[in-house]
Amino acid sequence: MTTRAADAAGVPVPAGPAGTPGAGLRVALLGHGAIGRVVARELLAGAVDGATLVCVVTRSEVPELPVPRLSLLEALEVADVVVECAGSAALVAAVEPVLSAGRDLVVSSVAGLLDPALAGRLGELGPGRLRCTHGALGGLDLLASAAAVGGLDRAVLRTTKKPAALVQPWMDEAEAHRVADAATDVLVFAGTPGEAARLFPQSLNVAAALALAVGDPDVVRVELHADPAAELTTHRIEASGSQGSYVFEVQNRPTPDNPRTSAVVPYSILRTLSGLTARPPLIA
C-alpha cells in the first residue's frame, strides 16, 4: 500500500499489506537518541530479517538520516509497526493513535504504561497490539508463567547503578548531593512500581516490566541503590509463589551516551521486533 504521504516523503514502501509474501515488516522508529540510533543502524544493516526501517519520528531534525523524518500520523500511513525509543511521555502520547490505527507498538519505555492516563485502559485499546521489550531484565517469561498458575506472593527487585545516573530534577539540593556524592552503597528509593515509574522513568523501566509480567503490581517491591563501585548496572529479582521460588540477577554495561540505560536494550528491542516478522526466532 502506497499513500500520498509516502509518495511525498519518498518512503520506500514494500508492495502489499503486512503479512503477505514479499511485503516485509515496515518499521517506523519513534525517537533517535542513544537507544534509537542503535536500533536504526541495526535495522538499516539488515539485523532483523524481514523488517525494513521506512521512517523516523522525532521532535528535531536528525543530520544525515537515511530515511524520511515524518510526523507520527504520516508514519502510521506507511508503517506496520512503531518502535518506541523516545521516553515515557512520548509513549503515553503515542499509544492511543498507534493502536487505534491498527498498528503494533513495540515499547521500550515500559514505565510509561503505568502512567495514570493509561491505567486500566490498555486492554481496551486496539486493534493494534502492544509488545513490551524485556529490556535489561531476564526471567520475565518464567515469572509470568508462575504468576499465571498460582500467583506470586512477593517479588522484590533491587537495582544498583552509578550515583550520577540516579540524580533526578525533582530532588532537592540535599538529596541530589546525598546521591551524587555517595561514597558507599546508598538506598535511593524503596516503594511500588508505580512510584518507581513516576520518580525514575528512565532508570526503572525494569520495575514496570516486572509488574506487568506478574500481573499484580501490589506484590512487587522496588529498591533502587546508588553505588560508586558499580561498574555494571545490576538487577536482582527474588520472587516466590505457589509454583516455587526464583532468584535472578543480571549485570549490564550502561550505554556510553546515556548511563541511565543498559547497552543491551536496543538489541532487546530488535529481538522483540523480530518476533513480529513472518519468520520469528524459534525462541523469542
* Residues belonging to the active site: 235
133: β partners: none
Q: For residues 228 and 195, give the distance between their C-alpha atoms in angstroms, rounded to a whole number.
A: 24
Alpha helices for 45-87 (secondary structure H) = 72-78
185 grid coordinates: 552503597
Among the listed residues 94, 96, 106, the one whose alpha carbon sits nearest the alpha carbon of residue 135: 106
Write out the three cell numbers for 218.
Answer: 501490589
State whether residue 28 is helix, strand or coil.
strand
φ, ψ (nearest 5 deg) of residue 127: -85, -5
Crossing angle of the two packed helices 140-150 and 205-214, in degrees rounded to 10: 30
DSSP for residue 230: -
Backbone angles phi and psi of 119, in degrees to 5: -55, 125
Residue 225's SS3 state is strand
Strand ranges for 37-140 from DSSP E: 51-57, 81-84, 104-107, 130-132
Q: Residue 67: left if φ>0, alpha if ψ -120 to 50, beta else—which one? A: beta
